[in-house]
Amino acid sequence: MQVAFAYRGRSGVTQTNVGLAVALAPNLRRDRVSFVGTLKQPLRFREAMSALHDVVVSDLRYKPKDKTAYEQWKKAEAEKEAAIRRDAAKMKRAELEKAAKRPMPPGLERAYERCRQQYWGARTRYGTMLSREDPELWRMLMPCDPVITVSPDVLFFECFSADESSYGCLNVEREAFEAQTDIALGTTNVDYSWRLYEHFQTIRSYRETRFSIDPTGFEVQTSADEGAYREEKIDLPQSWLRGFSSLQSAMSLPMRRVPVSREGLYSLITFLKTHKAKSSPRAVRFELTPGAPVKIVLEPWNKEIVLHDTPYPGAKAEVIRTWGRDRLRVLGRLLPLLDGCDVYLLGSGLPSFWVARMGEMKLTLGLSGWTANDWTSGGSAIDQLAPPVAPSNDAMRAMTDAFKQNPTWTLDALATKTRTSAPAVSAGLNKLALLGQVIHDLPHGVYRWRQIMPVTLSAEVIGPDNEETVAARDLTGWKCRVTSDKTDAKGQRTVVGVVEGRSSSELTLDRDDCIVAGKCGCSYFYTGGLRKGPCRHLQALRNKALGNGESGGTLENWFKRFRNS
């Protein structure tokens, strides 16, 4: 999907007579959005925006060691050897031409192949070098600038990481500003460069900081000042849109809230910084008992962090394991400003959302649970979150009309307004979030109307659900039967079963419950194996072994699963 961005100048922090002025350049291709105000707590804003920037540039995908010097030496040696061979070939060619009395035919095919390999090799090395040597230029090539939304009661900034695995949202209440003027509600992209990040570090508490989304950028209606615009056309990969929308839809579901104190978060981050896991599992395990202190266990060390001052408020005892913990380090710089933290959990292997509370500011960090993922291939745990039944068109139309009247709703209030059951409304909100129309504001417990793109997204743009994953949801009950379930000494779990009455299927799960091997007699597995994701039979067998999807295929049971009732 190609999206056009037009900015009037660049965002920046400038010195004024009374202090600093933070001016964000909005996207002129979108509806007019503006806001001007003076920050009451500039340090909180500086640290929160800096942490948000860390999420944007976060990329924990595997990176090989830097062997630049060694490769240069190898290249020099190869050039010496090639020169010797060229001289020898030149002498031999001259002898052959003299004997044959005709020129040798040129090696066109070999020359073409050599040039092609040289081009693609240089292109790959250039992209890797930019991320390491010139982060500012690399930042300019990021998929999409952050998004800011001005609501009646809050401002919030949203971003997605470079490796498409984590989501960040900074929520700033309007009470954090003084002398608010020139307010235009809406959503727009803002120019957030590496230079702006460096400027943010100059904000201090002893001088006034004025914040503005520059409204003058929307007043230019002629083409005389084209030089003042910075035009960008970015081709957003389908996996970026799918990943961002999938995490948004996951965040729209009811979740368990687990309170975590500042001291508990400090202990967790400190341990992760001083220890490196060399084997699986690499999970954060939450052991939850109603009314008892929350217990966090870091695997594989089984390091226990008991939060004695934060009892679990839930109604059911359970153990939930989540992944993606290395990204929690971005919260480290917020520790001196924290009032506390809340973790929202969907279930084992599913996304988790960490909300850092800093007075009138809250930073939400969403973790998908993996470092790199092809969102368009399906077969991951997050694909199991979709409702089993699509909401009706009448319910979707009623919810859209309600959001046009009021951009902020709670789940129960929206169900009353639309005269629709809570499970159906929850499924509709999940679909609207997947299409980039709605965001779930976890700190305030409300749903807000927010269009992430200047154009309305559709299922065709985001990409349809994986067919095998959709089909696997229906293979429950008697259609899927486990005949053998064994775990070896290394922690690998082998599950054998019969799905749809066909010959037995077999899969192997590692200690993180990820499918690492499998066997199935279907045509999908025969032609692709696990390269395009597991087939519907292996996914159904995994769901059966992990106890997922056994409550039936109705909206009511789907809703109860996440409400934990």
Q: What is the 3-state secondary structure (H, E, C) of 214-246?
A: CHHHHCCCCCCCHHHEEEEEEECCHHHHHHHHH
Indicate the residue type of 254: P
* 8 A C-beta contact, residue 446 and residue 409: yes
Tokens matching residue 507:
């899969």
Indicate the residue type of 433: A
Tokens 């899969």 identify what position? Answer: 507
Tokens matching residue 485:
């379930």
CB count within 10 Å of CB 419 equals 8
Q: What is the distance, to the nearest Å, from the Cα of residue 549 to the centroid of all Cα atoms in its chain?
A: 25
> CA angle 69-71-72, nearest 5°?
65
Tokens matching residue 169:
């949202």
CA distance linking residue 48 with residue 103, whole number of Å: 70
Work out the burial of residue 563: count CB atoms within 10 Å of its CB; fewer than 13 is exposed, 13-18 middle, 19 or more buried. middle
CA distance linking residue 383 with residue 465, whole number of Å: 8
* 8 A C-beta contact, residue 284 and residue 325: yes
| Parallel, antiparallel or unpaired: strands 19-24 and 208-213 | parallel
* 8 A C-beta contact, residue 147 and residue 180: no
Enter the DSSP assignment of 348: T
CA distance linking residue 269 with residue 285, whole number of Å: 14
Please report the pLDDT score of residue 3 as a whole number.
57
Please report the pLDDT score of residue 270 as a whole number.
94
Residue range(s) of every CATH 3.10.150.10 domain in the chain: 237-370
* 8 A C-beta contact, residue 191 and residue 24: yes
CA distance linking residue 184 with residue 146, whole number of Å: 18
| Bond from prior residue into 281 cis (ω within 30 degrees of 0) | yes
| Parallel, antiparallel or unpaired: strands 352-358 and 340-345 | antiparallel
Any idea which fold 386-462 has? Arc Repressor Mutant, subunit A (1.10.10)
* 8 A C-beta contact, residue 188 and residue 148: yes
Work out the burial of residue 94: count CB atoms within 10 Å of its CB; fewer than 13 is exposed, 13-18 middle, 19 or more buried. exposed
Please report the pLDDT score of residue 555 as a whole number.
73
Q: How far is CA 465 from CA 135, 145, 473, in A?
A: 34, 26, 12
Please report the pLDDT score of residue 130 as a whole number.
66
Q: What is the DSSP string of 451-471?
A: -SSSS---HHHH-PPPHHHHH
Q: pTM of the predicted model, to two decimals?
A: 0.72
Indicate the residue type of 117: Q
Phi/psi at 169 (5° precision): -145, 120
- Alpha-carbon dihedral angle through residues 352, 546, 511, 331, given to the nearest 10 degrees: 0
CA distance linking residue 565 with residue 243, whole number of Å: 29
SS3 199: helix
Q: What is the distance, to the nearest Å, from the Cα of residue 448 to the centroid of all Cα atoms in its chain?
A: 19
CA distance linking residue 100 with residue 496, whole number of Å: 70
Per-residue burial over 446-482, b if 16 or more Cβ lie within 10 Å, else e, is bbbbbbbbeeebeeebbbebbebbbbbbebbeeebee
Residue range(s) of every CATH 1.10.10.10 domain in the chain: 386-462
CA distance linking residue 375 with residue 246, whole number of Å: 9
Please report the pLDDT score of residue 179 as a whole number.
77
Phi/psi at 480 (5° precision): -135, 125
Write down the CATH number for the domain with range 237-370. 3.10.150.10
pLDDT along the chain (565 residues), means of 10: 60 68 68 80 85 76 70 84 84 73 63 72 66 59 69 86 82 86 80 71 81 57 42 58 79 87 93 88 90 93 92 87 88 91 86 92 86 51 65 87 90 91 88 86 89 66 68 80 87 88 81 76 83 80 72 66 59
